[in-house]
Amino acid sequence: MMSIANTEQKPACTTGGLGNYLWSDPPKENKWADCVHCGLCLEACPTYEQLGQEQHSPRGRVHLIKSVAEGNLFVNEAFADPVFQCLDCRACTTACPASVDVGGLIEEARGQVRQAMALKGWKAMTSKFFLETLFPHHDRLHAAGSLLKFYQKSGMQKLVRKTGLINIMPEHLVEMESIMPEIKTPVRKKYKQEQVIKAKGVTKRQVSILSGCIMDVMFSDINEATINVLTRNGNDVTIPKNQTCCGALHVHAGDREMGRKLAKQNIEAFKDSEKVIVNAAGCGCMLKEYPELFHDDPEWQEKAKEFSAKVEDISKFLYDTGYAPPKAELNTRITYHDACHLAHGQGIREEPRDLLLHIPGVEMVHMPNADRCCGSAGIYNLTNPEMAGAILESKMANVPEDVEMISMGNPGCMLQMAVGVQKYGRNQRIVHTVQLLDWAYQKEEEQGSGQDGEK
């Protein structure tokens, strides 16, 4: 048995060190010491639900992470599998009575795995392309966005689909291609000339927004909606220039070094901001967790804490600061999906529902297990398509039949749910919560009754 472990190569330099964790920034003992092995988290975990295997459950993962520290296990392929099959959905954090930070432990463990061994094959390609080549670089993202736009507008898309070229793409990429949102102009480009996008009416607060990397390219209309909704409610909005990708996907993938680099850049970029408003749950959660990245660097940890305190999700910000409920009616039946990083990661459940319910004419149908992961989980749907697909299938089974739209607060989920709608022959439109709100405001303006009235 031990032979598997002994074949592991030792790292070139060992700075950290805790049992068989040989690199710096290992999983923190105080995090697993909270776990009493009660198992109450098992059923919350989507991968345990699918496989029924305990190494793929939160308790099992914590146990393995602890075993490495105790010297009973090595950081190798077999350890990497359960650690990387985790969706980072944080449902276990909600379920756990002892508030064990399973997600944090997993990310730290992934950091060790990535330093111990390199990725291979398709996964490596996807990861490298998205995480290193694309996301941290706005210019490249915009260029890719323009290409996509060209692809859609020029008729190439039609051509690819018609010629069957699409059939040679891997299945999950085909699914993705078919639901690609229509690419519009990123807000960073659009508002390039404006220092401040002024509030409509009296200015009450100043806020900055995280425009996001992929968000601004694939979903610029959501950023647009966010800006509209903020300015409509008395907020001057800035889009700090030097901001970059939040780093969540890098940290999920175990590249904590890159995570730190991006975090530092963002902390600097938002230095003068009072509030950092985020419309992507995954990014918001990451920004709030920046201090976790700097356990070995007190100076930056302090800065990260200050920064994190300023971060807020758009739905909670509107709810907390008081917003004007729109007066125009949007007659529609919708349901709401809790993005993992909003519900489990940030504890935000009621606020977005409240915003939606205050739009006249919106009827909300309950989705059973609304806070169950959809399988998107960053680029998990690209790196672990089989598991992601199985999870999506059970998610879609919970979507009520008779709704026109599914609302949520995370772009990753929106893409995945769009795949689901397409794949299972459903017809719902996928929308972001602020989009619905924005549409209602727009309609109100069209009807010419756009007067302020605080909630």
Partner 1 sequence: MGKNKVKTSDIHILNLAKLIFGPQAILYKKEDLLAYDCDGFTIERHLPRAVVFPTNTEEVSKIVKYCAENHLPFLARGAGTGLSGGAIPLNNEIIISLVRMKRLLEVDLENRFAVVEPGFVNLKLTNSISDKGYYYAPDPSSQYACTIGGNVAENAGGAHCLKYGVTTNHILGLEVVLPNGDIIEIGRNGIPDSPGYDLLGLLTGSEGTLGIVTKITVRILKNPEAKQTVLAYFDNIEDGSQAVSDIISSGIVPAALEMMDKTAIEGVEAAAFPVGHPKDIEAVLLIEVDGIAAGIDDQIELILAVCRRRNVREVKVARDEAERGRWWANRKTGFGAMGAISPDYLVQDGVIPRSKLPEVLARIHKISEESGLRIANIFHAGDGNLHPLVLFDSRIPGETEKAIQAGSACLKVCADVGGSITGEHGVGIEKKEEMRFVFNEEEIKAQTDIRNVFNPDCLLNAGKLFPTPGRCAEVKRELASKS
**Rule CB under 6 A: is residue 47 a binding residue for ligand SF4?**
yes
Which CB, 340 or 421, lies closer to partner 1?
340
Strand partners, 236: 206
The first and second tokens of residue 252, run together, are 């999920």
Phi, psi of 269 (to 5 degrees): -60, -35
- In whole angstroms, the minimum distance from the beta carbon of 312 to ligand SF4 comes to 23
Instruction: State which residue, 10 or 37, has the beta carbon closest to ligand FAD.
Output: 37
Among 15, 17, 98, 124, binds partner 1 (CB under 8 A): 98
282 binds, among partner 1, ligand FAD, ligand SF4, none (CB under 5 to 8 A by kind): none
Q: Which amino acid is at 159?
A: L
The CA distance from 154 to 323, in Å, is 41
Q: What part of residues 89-128 is at the interface with ligand SF4 (CB under 6 A)?
A: 89-92, 96, 98, 100, 102-103
Backbone angle region of 379, left / alpha / beta, with phi > 0 → left and psi within -120 to 50 → alpha: alpha
78 binds, among ligand FAD, partner 1, ligand SF4, none (CB under 5 to 8 A by kind): partner 1
Residue 157 binding target from partner 1, ligand SF4, ligand FAD, none, CB below 5 to 8 Å by type: none
CA distance 243 to 29: 33
- Is residue 386 a contact residue for partner 1 (CB under 8 A)? yes
| Token couple for 168 | 């040679």
Instruction: DSSP letter for 166, please.
Output: G
Closest to 138 measured CA to CA, from 220, 77, 58: 220
Residue 44 beta carbon to partner 1: minimum distance, rounded to whole angstroms = 8
Measured from the CB atom, is 10 or 366 closer to partner 1?
A: 366
- Shortest Å, Cβ 433 to partner 1: 23
Here's the x/- map for partner 1, 263-302, by CB under 8 A: it reads as ----------------------------------------
Q: How far apart are CA 254 and CA 394, in angstroms?
A: 28
Q: Which stretch binds ligand FAD (CB under 6 A): 34-42, 107-115, 136-144, 224-232?
A: 34-42
C-alpha closest to that of 77 among 116, 50, 45, 111: 116
Beta bridge partners of 277: 209, 312
Listing DSSP states for 371-432 in one string gives TS--S-TTTHHHHSHHHHHHHHHHHHHTS-TT-SEEEES-HHHHHHHHHHHHHTT--PEEEE
Q: Which uninterrupted H or E stretch holds 238?
A: strand 235-238
**Smallest separation (angstroms) from ligand SF4 to the CB of 33:** 10
Using rule CB under 8 A, residue 52 touches partner 1? yes
45 binds, among partner 1, ligand FAD, ligand SF4, none (CB under 5 to 8 A by kind): ligand SF4
Considering the complex, state which of residue 103 and residue 420 has its C-beta at the smaller distance from ligand SF4. Answer: 103
Instruction: For 288-331, list the strands marked E by DSSP.
Output: 311-313
Pick left, alpha or beta for residue 209 (phi over 0 → left; psi -120 to 50 → alpha; otherwise beta).
beta
Binding mask 12-41 for ligand SF4 (x = CB under 6 A): -----------------------xxxxxxx
Query: CB of residue 82 vs partner 1: minimum separation in angstroms?
Result: 8
Cβ burial of 242 (10 Å; 0-12, 13-18, 19+) is: exposed
Position 38 contacts ligand FAD (CB under 6 A):
yes
Interacting residues with ligand SF4 between 70 and 89 (CB under 6 A): 86-89
Cα three-residue angle 363-44-89, rounded to 5 degrees: 75
Name the minimum Å distance from CB 428 to partner 1.
Answer: 23
The letter for the amino acid at 202 is: V
* Interaction partner, residue 53 (partner 1, ligand SF4, ligand FAD, none; CB < 5-8 Å by kind): partner 1
Exactly one of 19, 26, 27, 58 binds ligand SF4 (CB under 6 A); that residue is 58
Whole-Å CA distances, 444 to 390, 439, 441, 450: 41, 8, 5, 6
Tokens of 248: 């969540």
The separation between the first and the last C-alpha atoms of the chain, rounded to the nearest angstrom, is 65
Q: Which does 67 bind (CB under 5 to 8 A by kind): partner 1, ligand FAD, ligand SF4, none?
A: partner 1
DSSP state of 205: E
Contact 230, 435 (CB under 8 A): no
10 binds, among ligand FAD, ligand SF4, partner 1, none (CB under 5 to 8 A by kind): none
Binding partner 1 by CB under 8 A: which of 18, 156, 180, 390?
Answer: 390
166 binds, among ligand SF4, ligand FAD, partner 1, none (CB under 5 to 8 A by kind): none
Are 249 and 402 in contact by the 8 Å Cβ rule? The answer is: no
Nearer to ligand SF4 among residue 92 and residue 269 (C-beta):
92
**Interacting residues with partner 1 (CB under 8 A):** 1-2, 4-5, 33-44, 50-55, 57, 59-60, 63-64, 67, 72-73, 76, 78-79, 82, 94-100, 386-387, 390
**Interacting residues with ligand FAD (CB under 6 A):** 38-40
